[in-house]
Amino acid sequence: MTEAHESLPRFAPYEKGRFQLTLGIKEIPVADWIDVDGHYAEHMAEKKRLLDARHGEVFDGLPGSLPAQRECLEAVLAHMSAHRPDLVAVEGGEIRTAWDGARLLRSAFEAAPLDLAGRLVQEDLCLMQPSDEGHRLIAASLCFPARWRLADKLGRPMSAIHDPVPGFNDKLNRPVERFFGGIAEGQLYMRLNWSVIDDPTLFQATGHGRRERDPSITPQNVSERLHIRIERQTFRRLSGTGVLVFGIKTIVDPIAVVANRPGLAAAMLGSLRTMPSDMQGYKSMAPFVDPLETWLSQAAETDSRP
Ligand code: HEM
């Protein structure tokens, strides 16, 4: 049927086999804030390309966000100096990035310190400020959006940001704000979000809500055409400004990572079958959900024992 992909997926948020719209958060050590994987250099190069070519779409901040941007940059520099000095070296007013051998001048980013922070890590970084309406997006370095535009969300609170997400405002907005309110300095939390997608591009500004069947995707070519897109999302409070840093680390794997892993294939199938149709529609899975389910059923039956 398909070639098995060699490496096991690092994260499998569909493994419970049942779709649930939940917070799904867990506390992790602060040392695990920034996640570095084998795509580091490739992702950093793609970020640089996007920041050069379409800066206005991938970076922005409200005028009042500078203190939080500065604090976030210092937190990223402290983290990378402590945990990955091989990748990021702070040398006075210069920051050396090992992936391309460049030297970035801190002084060049005085008006946008978060832009510099985003050029050092694979994560996208969003700054969320507490307000009467809930946490509000005040700045972001956002090179790998999963089908949304920074310009549409900047300045808006969580409820408005998530307006297009089926069920969010009814079921999740209050628990999320309660969770955010309880995050103290020195704590780090994470959650995973996942989708199956037909386009592995990291920067996707649009694409939610496609419902028309794509006849070019068949059970025979699912393993070449489809990908699993996972977001490892992190939440950390900055002690000085009280702003929350929302980190989004994007991982795109070929769907073939679950081929010949019947347990994972069965779990993903179970998650798809229990996903409400409005959520499937929102996630643009309708164009290929039928061939995907056929392919997963076959993969779930494949005996991988030698
Ligand atoms: C515990 C916290 C959070 C939860 C439970 C949550 C949950 C969700 C869910 C379930 C979706 C639909 C995802 C999908 O396509 O599969 C979503 C989309 C999204 N989330 Fe969150 N989220 C959280 C935090 C945040 C934060 C802090 C931001 C700030 C930027 C954010 C921005 C977005 C955006 C922009 C979308 C896409 C909305 C659109 O289609 O226009 N989320 N979120």
Q: Cα(203)–Cα(198) distance, rounded to whole angstroms?
A: 14
Q: Which amino acid residue places its CA nearest to atom 9 of ligand 1?
A: 165
- Ligand 1 closest atom vs CA 135: 27
Q: Mean pLDDT, the chain, as a whole number?
A: 95
- In this structure, which residue's CA is closest to atom 23 in ligand 1? 176
74 inside domain: no
Distance 306 CA to ligand 1 centre (A): 41
Compute and round to an integer the Cα radius of gyration of the chain: 20
Alpha-carbon distances, residue 306 vs 3, 13, 256, 302 (angstroms): 15, 27, 19, 12
146 C-alpha to center of ligand 1: Å? 10
Verify whether ligand 1 is closer than 6 Å to residue 294 (CB atom).
no
Q: How confident is the model at residue 1 (pLDDT cuts 50, 70, 90)?
A: very low
Q: Are strands 244-254 and 124-129 parallel, antiparallel or unpaired?
A: antiparallel
**pLDDT band (50, 70, 90) for residue 302:** confident
Give me the domain span that covers residue 129.
26-34+123-301
Instruction: Give the SS3 label for residue 291.
Output: helix
Asked whether 204 lines ligand 1 (CB < 6 A), one says: no
**Mean pLDDT, rounded, for 175-181:** 98
Identity at 132, one-letter amino acid code: D
Residue 306 is predicted with a pLDDT of 42
23 Cβ closer than 6 Å to some ligand 1 atom: yes
CB of 63 closer than 8 Å to CB of 219 = no
Nearest protein Cα to ligand 1, atom 6? 23
> Considering the domain boundaries, does residue 81 fall inside one?
no
pTM of the predicted structure, to 2 decimals: 0.96
Q: Is 164 in the pocket of ligand 1 (CB under 6 A)?
A: yes
180 bridge partner residues: none
Looking up tokens 């370095």 gives 141
The confidence score (pLDDT) of residue 8 equals 80
Is 15 a member of any domain? no
Number of domains in the chain: 1
* 244's tokens: 């929350």
CA 196 to chain centre: 14
Query: How large a percentage of the chain has pLDDT more than 90?
Result: 94
Place 303 in a pLDDT band, splitting at 50, 70 and 90. low
Does residue 155 fall inside a structural domain? yes
Which residues fall within 8 angstroms of residue 152, CB to CB, at 6 or more apart?
Answer: none
What pLDDT, on the 0 to 100 scale, is given for residue 164?
96
pLDDT, tens digit, 9 for 90 and up, residues 215-270: 999 999 999 999 999 999 999 999 999 999 999 999 999 999 999 899 999 999 99
Taking phi over 0 as left and psi of -120 to 50 as alpha, with beta for the rest, 64 belongs to: alpha
For ligand 1, atom 4, which residue shows the shortest CA distance? 23
The answer to whether residue 69 sits within a structural domain is no
Quick check: is 94 in a domain? Answer: no
Q: 264-289, pLDDT tens digit by residue?
A: 999 999 999 999 999 999 999 999 99
Task: Tell me the average pLDDT across 104-133.
Answer: 98
- 232 C-beta closer than 6 A to ligand 1: no
